[in-house]
Structure 1
Amino acid sequence: MTRKSATFIGFLAVLLWALLALFTVASNPVPALQLNAVSFAIGGVIGLFWIAKNNAWHELRGVSPLVYAFGTVGIFGYHFLYFSSLRLAPPAEAGLINYLWPLLIVLFSGLLPGERLRPLHILGAVLALVGALLVVARGTSFTGEAALGYLLALGAAFTWASYSVISRRIGHVTTASVTVFCLLAAALSFVTHLAFEQTAWPDSMSGWGAIIALGLGPAGGAFYLWDMGMKKGDIQLLGTASYAAPLLSTLALILAGMTEPRLTLLLSAGLIMLGAGLAAYQSRQTG
């Protein structure tokens, strides 16, 4: 797999994550740990089919328990924090804080061996961040009972950025290992759900559809795409290009009738695309 194709595959995960907030809101009132358990179970089944099709069972034996623990905690922890933040705080505002993770990936990646953070990477990340802020900034309030939700969203941002960058350090580990991450995270989510939450299921077909879609896409299938992108692709370009997610997420909410269009949307889109373009140009110049 070439660096360019791996980067493209990683960006497909970003496109799926554009639907994460929409499906999470639509799955209400399912609590966070229960939502984790169902989504990860679906994601794990996807991996089992992929492994069976490619007869890749032997690849799992060479993965250390430490890597399995790392992947499980990363996937479980991020989504628990993210789902919880959307339940406690207004989704748009919580999403704003969560989408600091692409900027953190770009900055953290400069610490990796063989990687170097260059001026246009930083400028592109800053411009894209400003664009992401404009998407959801109107009417934002970071006080009151939603404060815990905002704190959890910040924790989610650091968790996913750290998980993504460390994944690059273990680039030799097969992507098939993500299947085990999902299944173990599903089991952990199920146990903790029984201990700390009251079970609640959607009361509509759209709610059930949202849960299934989460497992097939942004909270399941996307893990495999992102893993390939982080291990084989351009990590800095992916980190900056990920700023398309808040814009696309907002568009998805508009099309679903969950939010109204804003005049700042075009300006935000321009800044996000400019930021990603600068990072792409820098990567081409130095790749």
Structure 2
Amino acid sequence: MRTNAPNPSPVYRIAGLSVLVVLLWGVTAWLRMLAADVPPLELTGIALIGAAVSSRMLPGTRGALTFALREHPWYAWLAVIVGPIASAAFYFAALAYAPAAQVVVITYSWPLLFAITSDVYIRRRPMPLTFFSLCLGLAGVAVMQDWATAPSFDAWLGYAGALLAGLSWVGYSLFLQVYSRAIAPAYPAFFAAGAILALTLQAGFGGLVWPGSLSSWAAGVALGIGPYGLGFVAWGYVVRHGNPRIVPVVPYAVPAVAAITLVLAGRTQPTLPLLAGCMLVLLACAASACVRAPR
């Protein structure tokens, strides 16, 4: 008797989008450094403008504003707008105060917290291996810091910003995972509303700053098209359609890609603590990947 095998194309699509997300997010720290003269909130607004334009070019997004207003309640607008703004603004601010390599690793330790909170939300007991992975990832952050020299006050501010960026990612990703309505057709509207909010906040609290160089403009546009445009859309698809036990593992590769990018760009020295910290975080990724969803 013949049995119909499941269509493998979604699996390959999720795998391909996961790789795309890792590569795009891996270059975010370097792009932020190219736009160092732009305040975090303003750079977030510029990036979200690019995200709105680039996501509008995707199929199925015609009439995004009408669709978003008709289909999504106020709390969806709040979550999908505030999540990207908070994660990007805290991340960009953290990169201005602390070493980029440490900021990236601290921020992208959030998948471990996401795995735990996701299990708790659906009333599934977290696996002991998940807690072990969390401890291993935190150990990687500590080793990367190289505590032979105490961090400065500015560095602590950067670490706090990185942690807040990671927690923003946890909340945003958890919402995407549990929210039942289609998000993809409304992304251009959400991104545009987020850009308006971010730029308004920057204008009210610190004043808008005209980017001083072509590289700053290029970095802002690249951030919008890539990490905060296609990256957000791809991550939304992966979270909503991927294996809930495997999805949190995906961003673990980001610190390694970011470290390689920063070293190649001459922004970070390839020190032994940096290498050891990345290795521990990758081991945490591998340990977490051993957890599989039950049949």
TM class, shorter-chain normalised?
0.7 to 0.9
**Cα separation, 1, equivalents of 2:184 and 2:142:** 33
Change (3 A) 1:124 1:145: closer
Offset of residue 198 of structure 1:
3.5
Residue aligning to 1:166: 175
TM normalised by structure 2 equals: 0.84
Q: 170-179 vs 246-255, which deviates more? A: 170-179
Q: 1:3–1:232: 8 Å Cα contact kept in structure 2? A: no
Matched, 1:194 2:203: yes
Q: Can you list the C-alpha shifts for 1:111-130, whole angstroms capped at 9, x where unaligned?
A: 13275522333334443443
Q: 1:240–1:275: 8 Å Cα contact kept in structure 2? A: no
Question: Sequence identity, in percent?
Answer: 27
Q: 2:113–2:134: 8 Å Cα contact kept in structure 1? A: no
1:283 counterpart SS class: coil
Offset of residue 38 of structure 1:
0.6
Q: 10-19 vs 137-146, which deviates more? A: 137-146
Residue aligning to 1:9: 17
Residue aligning to 2:30: 22
**Cα separation, 2, equivalents of 1:243 and 1:229:** 14
Matched, 1:210 2:219: yes
Residue aligning to 1:32: 40
Residue 88 of structure 1, aligned match among 90, 97, 106:
97
Residue aligning to 1:234: 243
Q: 2:255–2:278: 8 Å Cα contact kept in structure 1? A: no
Give the gaps of 5 or more residues in structure 1. none
Residue 71 of structure 2, aligned match among 62, 67, 80:
62
**Cα separation, 2, equivalents of 1:49 and 1:142:** 44
Matched, 1:102 2:111: yes
Offset of residue 189 of structure 1:
1.0
Offset of residue 197 of structure 1:
2.0
Residue aligning to 1:256: 265
Offset of residue 31 of structure 1:
0.6
**Cα separation, 2, equivalents of 1:11 and 1:122:** 25
Change (3 A) 1:109 1:146: same
1:110 counterpart SS class: helix
1:242 counterpart SS class: helix
**Pairs aligned (count):** 285
**Cα separation, 1, equivalents of 2:193 and 2:10:** 30
Change (3 A) 1:167 1:125: same
**Cα separation, 1, equivalents of 2:91 and 2:274:** 24
Matched, 1:151 2:170: no
Q: Name the amino acid aligned to 2:177.
A: R
1:219 counterpart SS class: helix
Give the gaps of 5 or more residues in structure 2. 1-8
Q: 2:253–2:282: 8 Å Cα contact kept in structure 1? A: yes
Offset of residue 172 of structure 1:
3.1
Offset of residue 227 of structure 1:
0.8
Q: Name the amino acid aligned to 1:71.
A: V
**Cα separation, 2, equivalents of 1:75 and 1:83:** 12
Q: Name the amino acid aligned to 1:43.
A: A
Asked which structure has the greater CA Rg, the reply is 2
Offset of residue 232 of structure 1:
1.2
Q: 1:33–1:197: 8 Å Cα contact kept in structure 2? A: no
Q: 1:129–1:243: 8 Å Cα contact kept in structure 2? A: no
Q: Name the amino acid aligned to 1:156.
A: A
Change (3 A) 1:234 1:15: farther
**Cα separation, 2, equivalents of 1:59 and 1:3:** 28
